[in-house]
Amino acid sequence: MIGSSPDMDHLTAVPQIFRFRRRSEATDIMRIPAGARHIVLHVEEGARVAVAGNFGPSEVEAVLEEGAHLEILRVARADGISPCVSHFKARLAAGSCLRSFFFTRGESGVSDDINVVLEGAGAGVFLNGLHLLAGEAKAESTTNIEHAAPSTTSDQLYKCLLRDTSYSLFNGRILVRREAQLTNAYQLNKNMLLSTQARADTRPELEIFADDVKCSHGATIGHMDHDQLFYLQTRGIDKAAAGEMLTNGFVEDVVDRISDPRLKNEVQRSLR
């Protein structure tokens, strides 16, 4: 466990509130101010917005009214000394949709805690994360999804690429209330170890009280596929380039889940 950062004790008492008016559609990405500690995103009925920011220790809240759409890219910003501890929570009304992508890279520690409640029928949340860890970095991702209404959807894909002595921990919990019939809930965590000293732990959890649902979870932890590496080398590709192709393929499908092309381009540029 990474634990809490002392910086979290200094979150501003008064949050910065950003309200997106009903049925509006932002033409540009809304940028979270640098250094923001406590942010509230209120997306009114039918509004559509894309948000991005580089976050240190922070708390972000999202409120989605009926039919609202929010896609948010959060990039962890760490100082290399203390871990970056972030919290994200959201409430979704009927027919609303939240897409979240959390990205970390480097040798600093990070802890991210996500809590989402699907309060209205037909609401959907898509949580995706990518950790590229090196050195002694530690990354902890905790997701809690509560299905509290019928015909709701949650889909999670978290991937981690680990070098050196880095470590990742994924805790994923899905709760389906009795009234949340016709729920679809999926969760997948994949970890690729690029050294013999890198480690990963994964703890998926399903708690289901409804009887008409489709729910599944899965997890993998393993090293690079040497058969695939050998196959590429037999085609004249040197070992280093072949390894890079395999790691790029490993991260590509989670990045492809970013639906807003502008946000996707930002992540792809940072991977080059």
Where in the chain are the domains?
6-225
This prediction has a pTM of 0.90
8 is written with which tokens? 């979290």
pLDDT of residue 80: 61
Query: Regarding beta strands 97-106 and 167-176, do their DSSP bridges make them parallel or antiparallel, or are they unpaired?
Result: unpaired
The pLDDT of residue 16: 92
Predicted local confidence at residue 82, as pLDDT: 65
261 C-beta neighbours (distance < 10 Å), count? 10
Q: What is the pLDDT of residue 125?
A: 98
pLDDT in tens, the chain (272 residues): 344 333 444 444 578 999 999 988 888 899 998 788 899 999 999 999 999 998 888 899 999 999 999 999 999 876 666 678 899 999 999 999 999 999 998 888 899 999 999 999 999 999 999 999 999 999 999 999 999 999 999 999 999 999 999 999 999 999 999 999 999 999 999 999 999 999 999 999 999 999 999 999 999 999 887 777 666 777 777 777 777 778 888 999 999 999 999 999 999 998 87
Tell me what pLDDT residue 9 has. 43
- Burial, 268: exposed, middle or buried (Cβ in 10 Å; 0-12, 13-18, 19+)? middle
DSSP for 91-140, written as a single string: EE-TT-EEEEEEEEEESS-EEEEEEEEE-STT-EEEEEEEEEE-TT-EEE
